[in-house]
Structures are given as C-alpha cells and as structure tokens.
Structure 1
Amino acid sequence: MELIRGLHNLREKHRGCVATIGNFDSVHLGHVRVLEQVKAKARELGLPTTVIIFEPQPREFFGGESVPSRLTRFGEKVRLLRAQGIDRVLCLAFNAQLQKMTAAEFVENLLLKGLEVKHFVVGDDFRFGCDRAGDYQMLEAVGKQYGFSVVNTDTFTIAGERVSSTRVRKVLEQNDFDLAERLLGRRYRIAGRVMHGQKLGRQLGVPTANIRMHRFIAPLRGVYAVTMYREEQMLGQGVCNIGMRPTVNGTQPVLEVHLLDFDEDLYGQLLSVEFETFLRKEQKFDGLEQLRKQIFNDIEVAQTYFAQPK
C-alpha cells in the first residue's frame, strides 16, 4: 500500500481511482463495509482504491473542550487500512488552508484534478468544504457533470444501533470490551513504541514497558488486564495502567505495562496492547509503598483472571 502525504504529492499515476473519504478512526465494521464497497467497485472498473483521511482529524484541529478521545493513532490507522487491502491512502493535513477551502474548490482540486475519481463512496453523514457546505447532493450533481459516479452508503447497525467511532468510543469508556469487539471486528488495541521512562516500576519491583502517548488521547483510563503483541506474536499477559500517575504527580498521560513472567529488553520496539478487562480506576496513594502494595494486588487479580477458562 502506498501512503501519499498531501495534495502536492499527487502524481499522474494516482489519477483514475475509486475513492472514499473520512476519519476512519478505529476502522470499525461500519468502515469495513464502506471499504468493501470501494474494493468491489474498483474490481469492476479495474482501478486502484484510494482512501482519503485527515491528520489531525478535523475536530482535533478546531480544538476546544469537545475534542473526543482518539481510538487509533495515525500509524495504527494506516496499518489497519493496509490490512483491508487498500491500494493507496491519501493523508491531507487539516490546517487553516484546508479549513478555508470551499466545497467547490475541494471537488476541483481533490476529486477532479488531483485524483480524477471515477467512483466516490461516502458515508451517510458526509459533509465537506468550508462551513461543511458540501453534501451528497452536490457531489451527485458534480459527478453527473464531470463523469464520475457517487454512492451514499447505508447505515450499518449492530444490536439495533449505528456503528460509529462515537459509539465505539462510548463503549470503551464504559469498559465493555466484548461489545467493542463486536463493533470493531477485533479486540481493541493501542499500539506504540516503547520509550524510556523514570524506571519507577523497576524500583518498585514491577518493571514496565512504557508506550509513547505523545498527543494521543486514549478513550481509556485506569488499570487493565492486557495481552501485549509484537506484530501478531503474543509476548505475554500483564497489567496495564493508563493515566497521569497522580501518586508521583505526573503531568502527561502514560501507558505502562507490566508483563507477567517476562524479562526482555523492549525499548524502541513497536508493540500493541490488547485490552482484556477493567481492574480498577487510577487513584492517588499516600506514598510509593502503598502504591507498590496495590500494584502487586492488581497483578494477583490479573493472574486470577487469566487463569479462568475463556
């Protein structure tokens, strides 16, 4: 799969495709349904598939208190799209310039000149251009004028409700990992590289692998029983804390995992953490000794959980 960063990197070879557009945060089963439509039409027309995404996501650009947590980081999203068999991902930088682009300019610069789209698949709530002025009816009219077809996908539901990133986020915030799996088609994971931390876990007798969070705002907070993977190889099971580490006056969110019966240098490696069950909320303790006792208690609870037949 080819990753294209920005309109300015589009070339002649990228013109003529079946495309779709959106945030694709989590690449849930609703997204998969859209991608299946794209791939089917691409096979029919003998054209490559192109998925258009944004970085940052539009609501992250506008900021404010309403910015939702993010389900997948950019790199993980790209890997998930690659796994779906997509030929190209075009990532547009969502900035002030793109924000000001009118719907007509968006169609001309991206769909007509940039990609020469032959078939365009959009979600059931897709809006585009400055002030979200563009909609499906506009795309349909432009398509008839310039010779490309447009289809509006049907709402995809599970358990009577629409599958959306918002719903997945809400389910994860409620720590319902079984329902999240039904919506995603897989267990929920957070991926990232292992970074050097303060080595506090090692001092307490529970060494941890710290996953770099950077600007990633996860939908989870607390302590969990998890399974850790390197690519698709299971490294082990353990206990994960996602939070601010209030006992040591942390200022940035950290994801740290203690693997049970594991002793290997993981620094710099790209790993993913799969969430099995919620253990407890993050809390502030009166000193490191109290924290250490709670961590060992968490480990015992996790060991009991993993020992149960699934």
Structure 2
Amino acid sequence: MWPPGSGRTCCCGWRCSRGVPGEAERVRVLNGFLGLKNAPRACVATIGNFDGVHLGHQRILEKVRERARALRIDALAVAFDPHPLKILRPDKAPRTILTRQQKVEILAAQGMDLLLFIPFSHETAQVEAERFVEEFLIGTLGVRELYVGVDFRFGKDRKGDLALLRQAASERRFVVESLETVSRGGERVSASRIRAALERGDVREARAMMGRPYEAIGEVVRGAGRGRAQGAPTANLAVANEVIPASGVYLTETRLEERLFPSLTNIGTRPTFENAGFAVETWLPDFTGDLYGRRLRVLFHERIRDEMKFASPEALRQQIDRDLQSMRDYFARSPGNP
C-alpha cells in the first residue's frame, strides 16, 4: 500500500479523494462574507455548493485552476455553509453527500489555493444581487475572472443570474463565463442524481458521476459483538455523511490511516437477529487489531446483494463465506481498477 494520493492511484484504481499528502493542509480555508478578513488581493473564482464535487464541478474547477495559473493569482472556490435550503426551507433541504472536511480535501486536490465558506443565514439571504457583485465579488475578493454553471443564481430571491453578472463584468472589466454541463446517459450530472443513485444502492453509477468512489467517514463504535461470534468481526460505524447507500452488502475498501484494506460492508437492520437495529458495519478480513474509537473511511465499489434474513446463524455464516469469496474474486480480477 502507498500513502493516499501520492501521485499514484491507490489499490482501488482511483485517485484517492483525499488528494496528495498535505494538500488539504496547504489550501487556505476562509470563513466569512462581507467584511471578510485575509481576503485575496486578486483571484479567479467559482461559486457553488459543490456537494459531491462531481464531473460537472470538476470541469469548472479545472478552468479556474488553469486560468489562475496563467494569471499567477489565486484559484478560489466559494461555497455556502450550510446549504441555503437548510436555512430557508429545511423541509426541502437535500441531505449532503460529503462532509465539510471531505469537501475541503477534494477541492484542494482539484488545485484550489483558497476555499471560502460563506456562513449562510437569513441575513445573508437578504443581500441583493447587485450588492453581492459590487461589495463581495469585486470589493472583497478582487475577482478577475468568474466561472459558474449555466443555471447559477445568487442574491435575494435568487434574482442574480448570468445576465446580471455579464452586465456587471462589462462595466467593471472582469471576466464571467458559464461552462456547459456534463452529461451521462443523456442526462445532466448533478448532486441530485448522485443522491438518487446512492439511495437505490447504485454505487457504480455514483462513482461514474463523481469520478471516484463514494466514501463514508465514521468513527468505530461498540456493537453487540454478533459479527465476531460469526467469525467476521465487523467495525460498527457512526457515519458522518448524511447520504448513505441503500441497505445491502457492498464490496468496499476501508482506509485506516495510510493503508487501504479490502472489506465487506453491510448496511441495514440485520434482520436475522431480533431488534438488532440499523447499522453500517464493515469487515476487514486482512486486519487484526482493535478499531474501537478509530476513524475509518469506507470506499464503496459494488453492491453484491440485498440484506437478507437467514434461518439460522449458521446459514448466515455460510453466506458470509460466499460474500468473502466474492470480495477476493473481485479484487483479484480487477486489482488496478475495481
């Protein structure tokens, strides 16, 4: 095994979502809005929610990075935190695919020099679009060029759009450009489609739209010890991500510090046992040691079956053996790109 994102692909065959070592530490993370301190003197910027940091986001981020390098100024990604709907319409707010830390790591790996999180509030929502451009984009951030999606909206009542930005750009002499969306299967790649794929257990489709496996982060908490009794001691995760794949059994890889282990992950209520409750459990057959209290990252590659109720613990044990063989076959068959 080699360190995550060390310039080579990890054993899952995908560039690790954590990027190269130290990259998240290198990027400067700012929090604020109007009156922001330590703002860049000049930058090439993009603005969005960036949930999932999918292929459409990556197209924009690549442009921002290229232009910032050409101009020798900072590449900046601006995001709202929390998602505006969590403040304005909590009942309509989407569950997020990424934790904030994952978002920082992935945006850093995409080559951003600065990340700015705007603390979204009802007060923030009242800022008129014109003021957002004049005082924030120009006055605070010193934006030289701005790249956004075709449906970008901003400001009070979402009245700000590309037409307003282009008018301001022509008057204040900065560049605004919208980039075309990325499609897959004839439909636009979006965070909503990724959420839907995960919620039906289609982690391969989610991976295709993000360009990397879905990753769940969680701390290992104590369970009932049923897995150990079955010869498959599982790590029960308190998952930090709001979006979790559908119930079922998955072929995964689990990152523990600098190492990746092939793993099997079960999501669901464990119906073979009475009142077992919902859990996300991952089993690392090649790991020995104590995982309690440690933080794991689980990369999801393939859903292999539904969660099932077995007639007996022995029947479950036999199925675990078959699942383990499926895992061995899977990684042996595709060691470089599961």
| More displaced 10-residue stretch of structure 1: 47-56 or 153-162 | 153-162
Equivalents in 1 of 2:267, 2:289: separation in Å? 22
Tell me how far 1:7 sits from its aligned partner.
2.4
2: CA distance, partners of 1:197 / 1:5: 35
Asked if 1:294 is matched to 2:321, the reply is no
Is residue 126 of structure 2 the alignment partner of residue 87 of structure 1? no
Match of 1:11 in 2: 37
Q: Which consecutive residues of structure 2, in runs of 5 or more, have no partner in the other structure?
A: 1-26
Q: CA RMSD in A?
A: 2.8
Map 1:163-174 onto structure 2 (within 5 A).
163-174=189-200
Task: For 2:112 and 2:129, locate their aligned partners in 1 and report how far apart those are by CA, in whole Å.
Answer: 26
Distance in 2 between residues matched to 1:196 and 1:176, nearest whole Å: 26
Structure 1: gaps spanning 5 or more residues: none
CA contact (8 A) 2:218 2:296 kept: yes
State whether structure 2 residue 217 is matched by structure 1 residue 217: no
CA distance in 1, matches of 2:204, 2:82: 29
Q: Secondary structure at the match of 1:212?
A: strand
Change (3 A) 1:5 1:201: farther
Match of 2:14 in 1: none
Counterpart position of 2:67: 41
Most deviating of 95-104 and 125-134? 95-104
1:82, distance to aligned residue in structure 2 (A): 1.0
Please report how far the alpha carbon of residue 134 of structure 1 lies from its aligned counterpart in structure 2 after TM superposition.
0.8
Q: Percent identity at matched positions? A: 34
Match of 2:328 in 1: 306
Match of residue 71 from structure 1? 97
CA gap 1:307/1:293 in 2 versus in 1, 3 angstroms? same
Counterparts of 2:101 and 2:224 in 1: how far apart (Å)?
Answer: 26
- 2:10 match: none
Q: Quote the Cα distance in structure 2 between the aligned partners of 1:218 and 1:7.
A: 31
Residue-by-residue CA offset, 1:127-172 (whole Å, 9 max, x unaligned): 1112211111111112222222110111222343322212222333
Could you say which residue in structure 2 is the equivalent of 1:52?
78
The alignment partner of 1:14 has SS state of coil
Match of 1:157 among 183, 206, 211: 183
Contact 1:225 1:302 in 2 (8 A): no
For 1:7, what is the secondary structure of its paired residue? coil
Provide Cα deviations, 1:18-64, integer angstroms capped at 9, x if missing partner.
Answer: 11011111111111110111011112222101101122222333221
CA spacing shift, 1:231–1:262, aligned 2, 3 Å: closer
Summarize deviations over 1:152-200 as a string: whole Å, max 9, x none.
111222343322212222333343333333322222222x242323344
Contact 2:198 2:244 in 1 (8 A): no
Deviates more, 1:290-299 or 1:10-19: 290-299
Q: Which digits, 9 at most, give the CA deviation of each residue in 1:104-147, with x for residues without a partner?
A: 23223421222111111111111111221111111111222222
* Residue type at the aligned position of 2:247: R
Structure 1, residues 72-100: CA drift from partner, whole Å, max 9, x if none?
11111111111111101101122222222
What is the TM-score when the length of structure 2 is the normalising length? 0.78
Instruction: Check the 8 A contact 1:195/1:211 in 2, yes or no.
Output: yes
**Hey, what's the Cα distance between the residues in 1 that align with 2:40 and 2:321?**
51
When structure 1 is superposed on structure 2, of 253-262 and 21-30 the one drifting more is 253-262
Matched residue type, 1:265:
D
1:32 corresponding residue in structure 2: 58
| 1:110 counterpart letter in structure 2 | F
Q: 2:275 corresponds to which residue?
A: 248
Q: Is the 8 A contact 1:193 1:268 kept in 2?
A: no
Taking the aligned partners of 1:296 and 1:147, their CA distance within structure 2 comes to: 69
From the superposition, tell whether residues 8 and 152 of structure 1 become closer, same or farther in structure 2 (CA, over 3 Å): closer
Residues 204 and 292 in structure 1, CA contact (< 8 A), matched pair in contact too: no
Which stretch of the first structure deviates more once superposed, 151-160 or 298-307? 298-307
SS at 1:110 equivalent: helix
- Point out the more displaced range, 46-55 or 139-148: 139-148
**Stretch deviating more after TM superposition (146-155 or 55-64):** 55-64
Structure 1: which amino acid aligns with 2:96?
A: R
Structure 2 Cα separation of the partners of residues 248 and 96 of structure 1: 42
- 1:126 pairs with 2:148: no
Mapped partners of 1:295, 1:73: distance in 2:
34
